[in-house]
Amino acid sequence: ASTLGAAAAGSGRYFGAALSTAHLGEAQYAATADAEFNQTTPENEMKWDTTEPSRGSFNFGPGDQIVSHAQAHNMIVRGHTLVWYQQLPSWVSSISDATTLKSVMDNHITSEMTHYKGKIYAWDVVNEAFADGSSQHRSSVFQNVLGNGFIEEAFRTARTADPAAKLCYNDYNIENWSDAKTQGVYNMVKDFKSRGVPIDCVGFQSHFSSSGPPSSFQTTLSNFAALGVDVQITELDIQQAPAQAYANTVQACLNVARCTGITVWGVTDKYSWRSGDTPLLFDGNYSKKAAYTSVLNALNAA
Ligand code: G3I
């Protein structure tokens, strides 16, 4: 196949990119995205600061724009994200009462998932809840006010809101098997599976330095998959985009049956969140980079 999405589809997977409404009106941006990808994740449009800027007042306009673009161009959509400590409006982060916060969190999840019912294949229900260099949860209003159980509460609420959507936990720095953070997330998933807490998938963001994925990456993916969840690479970008590092990352996914898809965190270097870096598959002029070719070849060989 001659595009990333079609090549990934050859082994039953998707290959997507984060899209931003800020750039959809740029012809080359849209043309590149539409030609290459069969999945998208809204880069910012479904986050809490956009979707519920004040309590009970919802704005799904930007997210809807991504969804309708995706539907018009045969891309499936990952919902990102329902519960995260960043891009969280201050009216939420200032709540100090557990009863109120639980009701606010559950209402946010239910309202957003209900709005998008049938249009989202998987949700990042909780994003980045674990602390770096540790197996513990990070400090956040959710953790501090609701305690350790907030993640379980979020997943249970999500399952009720849209029983057909896949429910994922998403994080970064969980790609190296021996890291404490990886072990913390692994133990949470294991615990959820053993107690029947609904969880279907784990997203490995995979924001890598120029040295690429850790050598244990495939082991990490397959160990999580063995717990009975699908795994995905959800926000891939690699400092300076070395072709071999990209190929190794994609190959790790292709070698794991339950690794169902890969998303790069942007279309073109010129709009990458890693400003000053060139971590993506297309350069600032939308030319294919060496990393693009190495990824396409790996997908086609699977
Ligand atoms: O919306 C305002 C706009 O009104 C204003 O004019 C502009 C001026 O700077 O800022 C706009 O907001 C920015 C937003 O991106 C949209 O461009 C925020 O300042 C900026 O902080 C925000 O950055 C996003 C970042 O998440 C926030 O943490 C990046 O685009 C986005 O790529 C990044 O994505 C995250 C994932 O969601 C989770 N994993 C890590 C990943 C990279 O940080």
CA separation for the pair 209, 258 (Å, rounded): 25
Residues of the chain above pLDDT 70, percent: 100
DSSP state of 270: G
CA separation for the pair 173, 144 (Å, rounded): 22
Sign of CA dihedral 110, 111, 112, 114: positive
What ipTM does this complex have?
0.95
Residue nearest to atom 23 of ligand 1 (CA): 273
Q: Would you call 209 exposed, middle or buried from its count of C-beta atoms within 10 A (0-12, 13-18, 19+)?
A: exposed
- Taking only the tens place, the pLDDT of each residue in 211-226 is 999 999 999 999 999 9
Catalogue the E-assigned strands of the chain. 14-19, 39-42, 76-83, 122-127, 166-171, 201-204, 207-208, 230-238, 259-264
23, 174, 273: which to mutate for ligand 1, most atoms within 8 A of CB?
273
DSSP state of 289: P
DSSP state of 9: H
Q: Given this model, what pLDDT does residue 63 score?
A: 99
Residue nearest to atom 16 of ligand 1 (CA): 44
User: Average pLDDT over the chain, rounded to whole?
Assistant: 98
Which residues surround ligand 1 with Cβ inside 6 Å?
43-44, 86-87, 127, 205, 235, 273
Q: Would you say 11 and 299 are in contact if contact means Cβ atoms under 8 Å apart?
A: yes
CA separation for the pair 302, 299 (Å, rounded): 5
| Active-site annotation, residues | 235
- Taking only the tens place, the pLDDT of each residue in 238-291 is 999 999 999 999 999 999 999 999 999 999 999 999 999 999 999 999 999 999
- Taking only the tens place, the pLDDT of each residue in 75-110 is 999 999 999 999 999 999 999 999 999 999 999 999
- Taking only the tens place, the pLDDT of each residue in 24-75 is 999 999 999 999 999 999 999 999 999 999 999 999 999 999 999 999 999 9
Residue 132 CA to ligand 1 center (angstroms) comes to 20
Q: Which amino acid is residue 247, in one-letter code? A: A
